[in-house]
Amino acid sequence: MSEFRVEKDSMGEVRVPSGAYYGPQTRRAAENGPVSGVLMPLPVVYAAAMIKGLAAEVNAGLGLLPPPLAEAISRAAREVLEGRFDREFIVDVFQTGSGTSTNMNVNEVLANRANELLGKPLGGNVPVHPNDHVNRCQSSNDVIPSAIRIAARRELSEELLPALEGLRDALAAKAREFSDVLKIGRTHLQDAVPVTLGQEFSAYASQADHGIRRIRATFPDLEELPLGGTAVGTGLNAHPEFGARTIAEIDTVTGIPFRPAENRFEAMGAQDPLVSASGALKTTAASLMKICHDLRLLSSGPRCGIGEIDLPSLQPGSSIMPGKVNPVILEIGIQACAQVIGNDAAVTVGGSLGILELNVMLPVMARNLLESIGVLSASSRLLASRCVEGITPNRRRCEELIEQSLAMVTPLAVKIGYNRAAELAHEAFHGGKTIRVLLKERKILSDAEIDRVLDPRTMV
Q: What is the pLDDT of residues 135-193, one digit of tens each?
A: 999 999 999 999 999 999 999 999 999 999 999 999 999 999 999 999 999 999 999 99
Residue 22 and residue 103 in contact, taking contact as beta carbons nearer than 8 Å? no
In the set 318, 352, 426, 446, the catalytic residue is: 318
Which of 160, 171, 210 is closest to 43 using CA atoms? 160
> pLDDT for 257-309, tens place per residue?
999 999 999 999 999 999 999 999 999 999 999 999 999 999 999 889 999 99
What letters, b where the CB count within 10 A reaches 16 and e where it falls short, cover 233-247?
Answer: bebeebbeebbebbb
For residue 411, is the peptide bond before it cis, meaning its omega torsion is within 30 degrees of 0? no
Ordered by where they begin, the domains of the chain are 24-136 (1.10.275.10), 155-223+263-395 (1.20.200.10), 405-458 (1.10.40.30)
Tell me whether residue 372 is one of the annotated catalytic residues. Answer: no
Pairing assessment for the beta strands 259-260 and 309-310 based on DSSP bridges: unpaired
Positions in the chain whose pLDDT score sits under 50:
1-17
The confidence score (pLDDT) of residue 1 equals 40
Instruction: Kindly give the interhelix angle for 100-117 and 140-155, rounded to the nearest 10 degrees.
Output: 90
188 annotated active-site: yes
Using CA atoms, how far apart are residues 260 and 118, in angstroms rounded to an integer?
Answer: 33
Q: What pLDDT score was predicted for residue 194?
A: 93
Is residue 171 within 8 Å of 204, Cβ to Cβ? yes
Q: What is the pLDDT of residue 209?
A: 98
- 3-state SS string for 277-309: HHHHHHHHHHHHHHHHHHHHHHCCCCCCCCCCE
Stretch (H or E) spanning 187: strand 182-187
**Strand, coil or helix: what is 392?**
strand
Helices H / strands E in the chain, number of each:
18, 8
φ, ψ for residue 359, nearest 5 deg: -75, 130
Q: Nearest-5° angle of CA 122, CA 31, CA 79?
A: 40
d(CA 385, CA 285): 18
Instruction: Give the rounded distance of the alpha carbon of 110 from its chain centre.
Output: 30
